[in-house]
Chains A and B, each alone.
Chain A
């Protein structure tokens, strides 16, 4: 059965909104001008932020990867107290499932888009003032984003969301 990305986007729209809001907030914290924000739409892309190219490469790195960090952290913290009762001792309440829904939605939209990768690459890799360490750091980050984009055809974004929301809390609990 083919399920279009838009349908998944509609179901998991809180994650899209959080992703775009994270972009916007990082622009605000870095003092980068924002021209337009689309928090959510049913067409492709599901959301976007149009901003000026940042002056400092580190700002581009933060704006590009910010949603990944914010969405991942939010998904993990929101899911943790729900994932353990549900997965560990079959004691999930309705509220636990609400938490898991939000956490998985947010977690699966953590991955930056190819547009984010492209912006980072052009600003950081080709930037005149970019330090070498940042260029070195950019390569695996870009590779990771492209892998995520490629993997999204195989539901990697959903797998990532479920892993952050359920798998990681269980792994941590198992480590103790």
Chain B
């Protein structure tokens, strides 16, 4: 038999009804506020600090993750210009992260931004990253740089001592005669033939290089433009597509394609393409010059002049002179 009539804790007769345990409101309140041990408070405070730090970092990390995933997707889609911008931004938060630097280097190489490639490669000097898969991907891309420098470096000294283009071409021709399998030599010679408006010779040598090293796309811009110069527009566009299939956002490929479309008088299409290229690389002189040209042939003189001012501000007098020449009909850009 229960002899207690009140609160089981303090014998207060006014205990609360409806509970299994007989307690007055004050005792129930006191007991519900059972003290928390000091060390538990300390641990809870530590967990709360971690919670707040994580909550604070949550948006930045989440955005960085989304950007990283977007960058990887752009790499898969071969949109290297956009991918390079994304990785450049994420690297501000993770400057020494190998994976991101590796993606950045690959994108920059495809965009011909060799200064960026060199700066990242310098950071890796003497290190051996564990991510073998990414290392292999970087090596596969960087390995192509052998097509950029002639095998025999002494040719550079000879080229430096030339005084005009004809001499320059002659040195390269002699080099090619002695190093017939050197693709870098062929590409350099092809470029010079194009600049010299020797389109037929440019096509011949660049086609030889294309067959010898199909993976080397460094001469494709000159080859496409040489075909255009030779009035073989469709062949030129085919070469542009080859370049763009490697890098959808290749400035070389887009410039050449827009230029050929302008020569074909497909002005609207050329303007759209030039605008797309300008949006990708608004400070690239080729992109600005091509858009100015496209604006000119589409009758938008205000835009052409504005772009000319932009080129002028960048001290690109050659491009400005070219556009002025086309505008004043001193340069015969197309039939």
Contacts and interface: CB of A to CB of B under 8 A. Distances in A.
Interface string A54-74: 010000000000000000001
A82 B54 contact: yes
Interface stretch (B32-40, B240-248, B261-269): B32-40
A53 B55 contact: no
Nearest to A88: B65
Contacts of B33: 28
B50 A78 contact: yes
Contacts of B62: 80-81, 84, 173
B19 A52 contact: yes
A154 B100 CA distance: 37
B51 interface: yes
Interface string A85-113: 10011110000001100100010000000
Nearest to A176: B66
A79 interface: yes
A84 B57 CA distance: 11
A91 B8 CA distance: 59
Contact of B47 (A74, A79, A173): A74
A45 B64 CA distance: 42
Contact of A31 (B32, B60, B61): B32
Contacts of A14: 43, 47
A35 interface: yes
Contacts of B68: 88-89
A117 interface: no
A120 interface: no
Contact of A99 (B36, B50, B69, B98): B50
Contacts of A90: 97-99, 131
Nearest to A15: B47
A21 B40 contact: yes
Interface string B281-312: 00000000000000000000000000000000
Given A79-B54, A80-B58, A106-B47, A33 B28 contact: yes
A78 B51 contact: yes
Interface residues of A, number: 38
A24 interface: yes
B97 A81 contact: no
B57 to A, nearest CB: 4
Interface residues of B, number: 39
Given A17-B40, A34-B32, A89-B94, A81 B23 contact: no
| Interface residue SS majority, chain A | helix
B20 interface: yes
Contact of A39 (B23, B40, B60, B64): B40
B142 interface: no
A123 B312 CA distance: 83
Contacts of A102: 47, 50
Nearest to A20: B40
B44 interface: yes
B17 to A, nearest CB: 9
A39 B29 contact: no
Given A85-B94, A89-B94, A102-B47, A80 B36 contact: no
A73 to B, nearest CB: 9
B54 A84 contact: no
Given A17-B43, A52-B21, A77 B34 contact: no
B5 to A, nearest CB: 19
Interface of A: 14, 17-18, 21, 24, 27-28, 30-35, 37, 39, 52-53, 55, 74, 77-82, 84-85, 88-91, 98-99, 102, 106, 173-174, 176
19 contacts: A27-B34, A28-B34, A31-B29, A32-B28, A33-B23, A33-B32, A37-B36, A39-B40, A55-B18, A80-B62, A85-B61, A85-B94, A90-B99, A91-B94, A91-B97, A91-B99, A102-B50, A106-B47, A173-B65
The 10 closest A-B pairs by CB, nearest first: A33-B31, A34-B34, A81-B57, A81-B61, A52-B21, A84-B65, A53-B20, A91-B97, A78-B54, A173-B65
